[in-house]
Amino acid sequence: MQTLIAILGGLVLGLLGTYLLLVLVKRFDINRDKDRARRMLSEGRIADSAEFRRITRSLAGLRSDREARELLTRLEQLRHSEEEPAPADCGAIVSARDSGTGALPTMPAASLGCPYCGVQLRSAPKRKRKCPSCGQYIFVRTRSSDNQRLLLTEEQAKRFDVERGELRYLNRWLGVLEDYGVTKTDFEIRKQERSEYLGVRASDSGTIWEIFNRLATNMTTASARDGQDGLDALYYSMALFLNEEGRDSFGMRQQSAKAALEGYRRSGIMKVKISANDDSCTACSLLNGKVFTIAEALRTMPIPCKECAGRPHRKDTAFCRCTYSPADD
């Protein structure tokens, strides 16, 4: 009998050890994928599409991990930005001497002209260089819609960069709004309505913010009526938007945290714990793992952390990424 117990005990310990090893390996893989996602975002491009698909699949499986969801959203925004068309106005500024058809000429490279003086270049430049005739710098940009190189003056290159940045910004946030059922057509209609009301061309950022607020009003009503969840994620997106605009996002992060707590309470969860990120600041790391009742958390609002020094999105603005999760009884 004792031998049997010893054998069973050994089996249990072996299974437990295997389970713990698998958990550690899984945690290692998760942290590795998060690190690769951060690196991809910091580089601002998708160098390996196969790795991108693998990382997004991995992050999509971490539904309870707020940081994973945020990384996944930002990766999808990066993918949308890389698929976007080039600014429409820039297609016609291939060269100051070009016919203005809107496309880089497909004639031999030797016939390409300097955008300043029109002298024919012996070869199409791949990067910025001086014109051998007039001495002005020729700037090179690639149009993503057809992968053609554009030869631009300095002023044209600046305008191209500004318009491309504006288009990436718009596409990124239209992708977020699409998650809430707002289409590009809806956005354009609302922008036109705002322009007519204001008497001037409405800004993209102002229109996006108004749509966000309308969504928040509708979701607040739905939440009060039938307990619909999702308001915390919407407020979090609004906080990210304010942060990107360089505006104070702390109040909106508080709204997100409060909505998350209310959602847990409706689900019958009475205690929550705070989860910080691996790269959180010292103040947020001190909160990691602390447990609160729902009532305590709503009364004291420990997160977002008021002393947070983390700057994951902008170098000049702190943004607390701490989240709540159900606590074990």
Question: Which tens digit of pLDDT belongs to each residue from 96-116?
Answer: 344 343 333 333 333 478 888
pLDDT at 207: 95
Higher pLDDT, 318 or 188: 188
Across residues 211-217, what is the average pLDDT? 95
Cα 190 to chain centroid distance, Å, stands at 23
Res 120 pLDDT > 80:
yes
3-state SS, residue 113: strand
Res 205 pLDDT > 80:
yes
pLDDT confidence tier of residue 91, bands split at 50, 70 and 90: very low
Q: Which residues pair with 138 in a beta bridge?
A: 129
Query: What percent of the chain lies above the pLDDT cut of 70?
Result: 72
Whole-structure pTM over 0.85, yes or no?
Answer: no
Asked whether the beta carbons of 149 and 90 are under 8 A apart, the reply is no
pLDDT at 17: 64
Query: What tokens appear for 134 in the block?
Result: 């007039």
pLDDT at 232: 92
3-state SS, residue 94: coil
**Per-domain residue ranges for the chain?**
7-85+163-268, 88-162
Q: How far apart are CA 130 and CA 186, in angstroms?
A: 46
Report how far apart, in Å, the C-alpha atoms of 25 and of each of 16, 31, 44, 61 are: 14, 10, 28, 16
